[in-house]
Amino acid sequence: MLFALITLIFWGGDPERRRRRHAAYRIAGVATAAVVPGSFLASLVPWPVLPHPALLLYGIGLAWAAVIAAIALAGPWRRDPLGPPGFIGAATIAVIGLDVITGSHLQLGTPFGLSALAAGRFYGIGNNAVGSYAIGGLLCAAWAGSATRRRTGSRGQAVAAAAAVTLFTVIAAGWPQFGAKVGGTIAMLPGFLVLLAGLAGVRITPRRAAIVAISGVLVIAVFGVLNFLFPAATGASDIGAFVGRLLHGGATGILQRKVHANVSSLTESWATPVVPIVIAATGVLLAWPDRLRLHAVAGAMRAEPLLRPLLTAMWLVAVLAWLVNDSGVTVTATLLPFALPLVFAIVTGFYERDPASMPDVGGNARTAPPAGRRANL
Query: pLDDT for 147-200, tens place per residue?
Result: 999 999 999 999 999 999 999 999 999 998 898 888 889 999 999 999 999 999
If you average pLDDT over every residue of the chain, what do you get?
A: 86
* 11 CB-contact burial (10 Å; exposed 0-12 / middle 13-18 / buried 19+): exposed
pLDDT in tens, 130-160: 999 999 999 999 999 999 999 999 999 999 9
CA dist., res. 52 & res. 88, Å (int) = 29
Instruction: Check whether 230 has a pLDDT greater than 60.
Output: yes
Q: What is the predicted pLDDT for the residue at 188?
A: 94
Confidence of residue 306 (pLDDT cuts 50, 70, 90): very high
Question: What are the structural domain ranges in the chain?
Answer: 2-254+275-353
Contact between 254 and 262 (Cβ < 8 Å): no
Helix (H, G, I), strand (E, B) or coil at 108: strand
Contact between 216 and 190 (Cβ < 8 Å): yes
Locate all alpha helices (DSSP H) within the chain, ordered by sequence: 2-9, 15-33, 35-41, 53-74, 83-101, 127-152, 155-174, 182-200, 206-229, 231-234, 238-247, 252-264, 274-287, 295-303, 307-324, 329-353
Kindly report the number of other CB atoms within 10 A of residue 209's CB atom: 13
Mean pLDDT of 243-252: 75
